A and B are shown apart, each in its own frame.
Chain A
Amino acid sequence: MAKAKAIGAAAARQHGSVGDVAAVTAANVTKTFGSGDDGVVALDDVSVSIRQNEFFTLLGPSGCGKTTLLRLIAGFELPTQGDILLEGEPIGHLPPYQRPVNTVFQSYALFPHMTVSENIGFGLQMLGKPQAEVASEVERMLALVRMEALAKRRVDQLSGGQQQRVALARALAPHPKVLLLDEPLSALDLKLRKEMQIELKHLQGETGITFIFVTHDQEEALTMSDRVAVMDNGKILQVGPPREIYDHPADRFVANFIGETNFLTAELTSLSKSGGRVKLPSGKTVAVTLADGEFSEGQVTVVIRPEHARLTKAKSKTTLTGVLRNIVYIGTDTHYHLRLPGDTPFIVRTQNQRDTQESYQQGDELGIEISANAVQVLRD
C-alpha cells in the first residue's frame, strides 16, 4: 500500500503539466471482482493522469472497465491494488461522502421524494452550508441549466432531458474538484444528445471543473473531449487528443473501434526517427508514420482511413489497385467497397458533390491513390 502511494505520487508529478499537479491520477490500479477462479479482473494495472480543467473521456466497449475506473474515483468501489490520487493526495481508501468528487449517473438517480430545488441543494445541505447560501447556489445552478421555471416540480414530472439537467446541476452545485459522468447521454434521443454534447462542453468551460466522461460512443468522445483514453479488457490502450487517436491509432483495437479503417499487411523496409517506409502488397513503397513503441524491419500491419484514399481510372501509376464490388450511397458520402489482389477488402470514401453522375461501375478495375502521410503502422 505504502509503495503504491509512493509510485502514485511520482506518477502524479511526472504526468501533470509543469507547476501543477494532476487532477486525478490512477496509480497501478487493479480491480478484481470475486476471488479465486471465479474472480473477474475489471481493471488490470491501470495508470493514467487526468489534468486540471480537462474534459477527459474514457472510451471503450461495455465490460472494458471504464465504469469501474469511474466508480473507483468516486469511491463506490475500493481498488484491489494501487491507489487513486486527487490533486496528489491518495483517496483510494476514503468513502464516497468524504471525496470532493460528484457523479452524474446513467440512470440520473434523482431523489423521487424531493423537488428539483431540493435535489440540487442536497449536496450543499449535507456539507452543512447555511440555508441562505444553499438557496442562492440552487438559484445559480437552476439558471445555469435553464430550469428556473421548474424549480418546484417533482422530478417524476420531468422529461428525460430535464432530468438530465437536474442531475447535472445537482452534481455541480457543491463545486466538486472533479465531475464524473457515467454515460449520462445514453438515454436521450439523437437530437437531444447532440444538443447536450455541445452544452456539456460549454458547461465544462464555464465552470472550469475537470470532467471525466465515460462513453461507448466514439463520436461523442471525439466531439467533446480534450483527451480520450481508449480502453479494452481492463487496460488503457491509448491516451491522446481526439485528432491523435483518430489519425494515429496505436493498435488494431483502437483503429477499429474509432471510425472505419482499412487494414493491410505490409513490409517495413526502412526506419528513421520520425517514421519509415513500407512496401505494400502491390509492390509500391510509401512513407509511413509509426505508433509509439519499438519497431524493427519486417512484416507489419498498416491502416489507411477510407477518406484518405481516392479512386481513379488511370491505374498504372497508383499505389494500389482493386476491383469495385459495391457502391453504397449514404447522402453526404459514397462508400466504394473494393477487393485488392489477394482478396483483401478496401473501402474508399468520397464526399458527394451535387449533380455529379456516378462515374464508376461494379466490376471496374480501378486505381487507388493514397494521400501523403495517410499510412499508419500499428504496434501489434
Chain B
Amino acid sequence: MVDVAKLRQIAPPRRPFSIRSLPGFTAIAIVCFVLLYAPLLPLVVYSFNAGTSLAFWEGFSLRWYVAAWENDSVQDATILSLIIAVTAAVTATTLATMAALGTTRTKPYKGLTAIYAMINQPLMVPEIVTAVALLILFASIKAATNYHGLAYLIAAHTAFCIPFAYLPIRARLEGMDLSLETAAADLYATPWRTFRRVTLPLLWPGILAGAMLAFVISLDDVVITEFVKSAGQDTLPTYMLGQLRRAITPEVNAISSVLLAVSVVMVTIFFFLNRRMR
C-alpha cells in the first residue's frame, strides 16, 4: 500500500498557477482601485453641498443641479455636445465598420499592416499635435470660405473617434466564425444578402460598442475642441474649462456628476445588450 499522507509530504499536490498567489497582488489591486475611484467620491458628494465651498460640507441640497439646469450657457453647451457626439459617433462608426470589413473580410494583401497603423494613428499621435494641425488647416479654410459652422468640430471629432469605433468592431469580426458566411453563400445568399442576413446581425454588438465608445470619447474631448471651435461654440467640457478660470462652484461638480452618471448608464446598457445578443 502507498502511504498517501507520506507521499503528500514529499510532493504536495500541485496547484495550477494563479496570479493571485503572487505576493502583493491584493495590495496592488486595492491601491489601483482606490486611485481610480476615490477622487470621484468627493466630486459627487460636494455636488450636493448646500454651500459654495468645495472643501466644507454645509448640508445636503440639490441647488447646484438646479443652477446648472437653469443656466443657459450649460444648456447650450449640452445641446452642442450632444449634436457633435451623436453625429461624430454615427459617422465614425459607419466608416469604422467599412474599414473593419475591408481589413478582415478580404484576402490578406500587401500594405495591410500599414493600413492598420494608419487607422489607429490617432491613438498614437499626441492630441495636441493633431489639434494644432487642425487649427492651422481649418483657419485657412475659414478664411477662404468664411464658413464658421459646426462642420469643423464634427469632422475633427469623427476623425479621432474612428479608431475607437474600429477596434471593437474588428475584434468582433475576427472572433466570428468565417464558416457562417461560407454557409450562407452555400445556401444561395449573394454576398450582399450574406452581409445583411448573417454578418451584420452578428456584428451588431461590436457596432454598438464602437458607437458608444466613440460617443463617450467625443463627449469629453477638450484639447482638439478647444483649438478647433469658433467663437461661441462651447461644448460641455470646454465650458467647464472656462468656468475653472473664474470662481469655481459646486455647479461644476454637478455637471461632472451627471456626465459620470451618463457614462455609467451607457456602459451598463451596453453590458446587458451584449449579454442578451450573445
Residues in chain A within 8 A of chain B (CB atoms):
74-76, 95-98, 101-103, 105, 107, 109-113, 122-123, 126-127, 170-171, 174
| A109 close to B180 (CB less than 8 A) | yes
Nearest first, the 10 closest Cβ-Cβ pairs linking A and B are: A123-B187, A126-B188, A109-B183, A109-B179, A96-B185, A126-B189, A113-B201, A103-B186, A97-B188, A97-B185
B180, B183, B198, B201, most chain A CB atoms within 10 A? B183
With an 8 A cutoff between CB atoms, is B45 at the interface?
A: no
Report how far A47 CA is from B182 CA in the complex, Å.
Answer: 25
| A109 close to B177 (CB less than 8 A) | yes
Excluding A97-B187, A98-B188, 8 further A-B contacts by CB distance (< 8 Å) are A74-B186, A75-B186, A103-B186, A107-B179, A109-B183, A112-B180, A123-B187, A174-B188
Q: Which of A75, A103, A113, A127 contacts B183 (CB 8 A)?
A: A103
Residue of B nearest to A95 (CB): B185
Report how far A123 CA is from B194 CA in the complex, Å.
Answer: 11
Which chain B residues lie closer than 8 Å to A174 at the CB level?
187-188
| A102 close to B187 (CB less than 8 A) | yes
With an 8 A cutoff between CB atoms, is B74 at the interface?
A: no
Residue of A nearest to B185 (CB): A96
| A105 close to B183 (CB less than 8 A) | yes
Residue of A nearest to B277 (CB): A113
| B182 close to A96 (CB less than 8 A) | yes
| A97 close to B180 (CB less than 8 A) | no
Residue of A nearest to B178 (CB): A109
Report how far A171 CA is from B183 CA in the complex, Å.
Answer: 9
Report how far A174 CA is from B188 CA in the complex, Å.
Answer: 9
Interface flags for B189-230 (1: CB within 8 Å of A; 0: not) read 110010001100110000000000000000000000000000
Report how far A111 CA is from B184 CA in the complex, Å.
Answer: 9
Q: Closest Cβ of chain A: how far from B136's Cβ, in Å?
A: 47
Residue of A nearest to B187 (CB): A123
Interface flags for B7-37 (1: CB within 8 Å of A; 0: not) read 0000000000000000000000000000000
| A126 close to B183 (CB less than 8 A) | no
| A102 close to B201 (CB less than 8 A) | no
Given A107-B179, A111-B198, A113-B201: A102 and B186 interface contact (C-beta under 8 Å) = yes
| B184 close to A122 (CB less than 8 A) | yes
Q: Closest Cβ of chain A: how far from B39's Cβ, in Å?
A: 42
| B180 close to A111 (CB less than 8 A) | yes
* Chain B, interface SS category: helix
Total cross-chain contacts (CB, 8 A):
59
| A97 close to B182 (CB less than 8 A) | no
Report how far A76 CA is from B178 CA in the complex, Å.
Answer: 12
Q: Closest Cβ of chain B: how far from A167's Cβ, in Å?
A: 9
Report how far A96 CA is from B197 CA in the complex, Å.
Answer: 17
| A123 close to B188 (CB less than 8 A) | yes
Which chain A residues lie closer than 8 Å to B177 at the CB level?
107, 109
Which chain A residues lie closer than 8 Å to B179 at the CB level?
105, 107, 109
| A109 close to B182 (CB less than 8 A) | yes
Q: Which of B187, B190, B198, B277 contacts A170 (CB 8 A)?
A: B187
A-B contact pairs, 14 of them (CB 8 A): A96-B185, A97-B185, A97-B187, A97-B188, A97-B189, A103-B183, A105-B179, A107-B177, A109-B177, A113-B277, A122-B184, A122-B189, A123-B187, A171-B187
Which chain B residues lie closer than 8 Å to A95 at the CB level?
185
Which chain B residues lie closer than 8 Å to A126 at the CB level?
184, 187-189, 193
Which chain A residues lie closer than 8 Å to B183 at the CB level?
103, 105, 109-111
B182, B186, B190, B201, most chain A CB atoms within 10 A? B186
Which chain A residues lie closer than 8 Å to B198 at the CB level?
111
Q: Closest Cβ of chain A: how far from B56's Cβ, in Å?
A: 56
Q: Closest Cβ of chain A: how far from B189's Cβ, in Å?
A: 5
Q: Closest Cβ of chain A: how far from B223's Cβ, in Å?
A: 40
Residue of B nearest to A128 (CB): B188
Report how far A235 CA is from B193 CA in the complex, Å.
Answer: 37
Q: Closest Cβ of chain B: how far from A104's Cβ, in Å?
A: 10
Which chain B residues lie closer than 8 Å to A105 at the CB level?
179, 182-183
Given A107-B179, A109-B180, A111-B180: A97 and B190 interface contact (C-beta under 8 Å) = yes
Q: Closest Cβ of chain A: how far from B177's Cβ, in Å?
A: 7
Report how far A346 CA is from B184 CA in the complex, Å.
Answer: 52
Which chain A residues lie closer than 8 Å to B202 at the CB level?
112-113
| B180 close to A96 (CB less than 8 A) | no
Which chain B residues lie closer than 8 Å to A111 at the CB level?
180, 183-184, 198
Report how far A170 CA is from B183 CA in the complex, Å.
Answer: 10
Report how far A170 CA is from B189 CA in the complex, Å.
Answer: 14
Residue of B nearest to A123 (CB): B187
Which chain A residues lie closer than 8 Å to B184 at the CB level?
111, 122, 126
Which chain A residues lie closer than 8 Å to B186 at the CB level?
74-76, 96-97, 101-103, 171
Report how far A285 CA is from B7 CA in the complex, Å.
Answer: 63
Given A107-B177, A109-B177, A126-B193: A76 and B182 interface contact (C-beta under 8 Å) = yes
Report how far A122 CA is from B190 CA in the complex, Å.
Answer: 12
Report how far A377 CA is from B98 CA in the complex, Å.
Answer: 62
Q: Closest Cβ of chain B: how far from A155's Cβ, in Å?
A: 11
Q: Closest Cβ of chain B: how far from A174's Cβ, in Å?
A: 7
Which chain A residues lie closer than 8 Å to B189 at the CB level?
97, 122, 126
